[in-house]
A and B are shown apart, each in its own frame.
Chain A
């Protein structure tokens, strides 16, 4: 059951991810990206990280992507024209993709040689209490630094927007 669900949602995620690139209209791409986020959330849920799954849907699919869609709708971005692929892209595209995937597989094998297969539901540290505990003890510094980083990004956006107005 777990494996079937994993395969279904993994395939949906990959198909949606390819669709993000293939679609010519920004709205369709954004909706495909929502599909990727949603299926990733289901994968987290299968692994036993239920808090992360809910946060994934609330934050990424429910807030960030809604803002994306909102901005695309507001700016009324039109459909992109499809151009013919360049000669180099046609020649090198597929070999580069294959070698990139091969390299990824190689490094994963090298970095985690003795990791066993993942067991669905074997992980139990995914509840809200455990995540909160980890965030405020083990990962306190990265957590706080990230929040400051996001704050700086917001300040930067405000400064840029101010300049436009003058």
Chain B
């Protein structure tokens, strides 16, 4: 019992620290990705390749003046950012990152807690996240903020329907609501993942889920609640300092959550694309070694002056990482973690790619798209899946 509490505390601390770092650096990655899409270097001044930029941003946000406008509804104005960030961080507690592992004689799962209604928990928590944005918009007592909050709540209610229907279809195949159970059902290889497996491959629900996820997290091309050319900054117009940062962090935490959910529901979680006996456990080492060699090559043929010092360091670090992946001692938990992070990271990259390339929808297009197209398609997909599962059983 005592060891359970200690292990849970340690796991919570580790997950919290990793999540917070990821949140800070996701911002850096996004700026870099969009910058390279637009053929410019992106953050480059603070630290090598702008790697200390997140730290600078945090210091800036913490030391900014915390304004409290006199015309706001004070209790709800203060409650809203708190609600948004709490609900965004809460759902990470049921996400499994890997299988059961053994650390210093204790067996534990790479997951904070496994609920037998894990999928429903994530849905419930994310549906509560709407309040943060809606209340922020309303309590600011500002027409732009109010319009942003209204747009956001209407959009999130509308896209929750196709999203829930898209989640229900793979659940019919896997026959469980526990997130760990979902992954265990998809074990074996890429042909067992829900996106390709089953009586009816869930490729349509995967796409519907991703589209709805973009709308649920208020990302481009569905970022109407903060459309800057119409609404200044939307629901967080009146917020500054750490309260603004809470909304910002909530958006990124929600992105991570939906990417994790897509990975777990459709892409087999931490399962490798093909079994280890055909050499899938060497893939991470090969990828890191390749990245290291590329970095070393560009370090010795630098395009910019400073690259001559920084890229060889990165190259050596990547080669060390490749070596670590070959150690049998850590392979049992590092390789599942690698696959999980690779899949989630791939989806997160998709978020950034689309932000860099697509324009914003018009509001009536946004609503018409979900009610007239996405919702019927999700319904049809669920019906066909249910019918085929019933026939097969």
- Residues on A facing B (Cβ under 8 Å): 27-28, 31, 34, 38, 50-51, 54-55, 57-58, 61-63, 66-67, 69-70, 73-74, 127-128
Whether A31 pairs with B120 at a CB distance below 8 angstroms is no
Whether A70 pairs with B150 at a CB distance below 8 angstroms is yes
Q: Which residue on chain B has the smallest CB distance to residue A55?
A: B120
Q: Which residue on chain A has the smallest CB distance to residue B171?
A: A128
* Distance, CA A51 to CA B117, complexed state (A): 7
Tell yes or no: B137 within 8 A of A by CB.
yes
Question: A63-B160, A66-B131, A69-B135 provided; 8 other pairs, C-beta below 8 A?
Answer: A31-B135, A34-B131, A54-B124, A58-B120, A62-B128, A62-B160, A73-B137, A127-B116
| B73, B154, B157: the one within 8 Å of A63 (CB) | B157
Whether B123 pairs with A67 at a CB distance below 8 angstroms is no
Whether A66 pairs with B127 at a CB distance below 8 angstroms is yes
A-B contact count (CB 8 A): 73
- Secondary structure type dominating chain A contacts: helix
Whether A58 pairs with B123 at a CB distance below 8 angstroms is yes
Tell yes or no: B76 within 8 A of A by CB.
yes
Whether B153 pairs with A69 at a CB distance below 8 angstroms is yes
Shortest Cβ gap from A106 to chain B (Å): 37
Residues of chain A within 8 A of B138, CB atoms compared: 27, 69, 73
Given contacts A27-B138, A54-B120, A57-B124, contact A62 B76 (CB under 8 A): no
Tell yes or no: B349 within 8 A of A by CB.
no
* Distance, CA A74 to CA B160, complexed state (A): 20
Whether A61 pairs with B127 at a CB distance below 8 angstroms is yes
Whether A54 pairs with B130 at a CB distance below 8 angstroms is no
| B115, B123, B134: the one within 8 Å of A70 (CB) | B134
Interface centre among A28, A50, A70, A127 (most CB of B within 10 A): A70
Given contacts A31-B76, A69-B153, A74-B150, contact A51 B127 (CB under 8 A): no
Produce 1/0 per residue, B148-165, CB < 8 A to A. 011001101100100000
Residues of chain B within 8 A of A50, CB atoms compared: 115-117
* Distance, CA A58 to CA B119, complexed state (A): 11
Residues of chain B within 8 A of A31, CB atoms compared: 76, 131, 135
Tell yes or no: B244 within 8 A of A by CB.
no
Q: Which residue on chain A has the smallest CB distance to residue B124?
A: A57
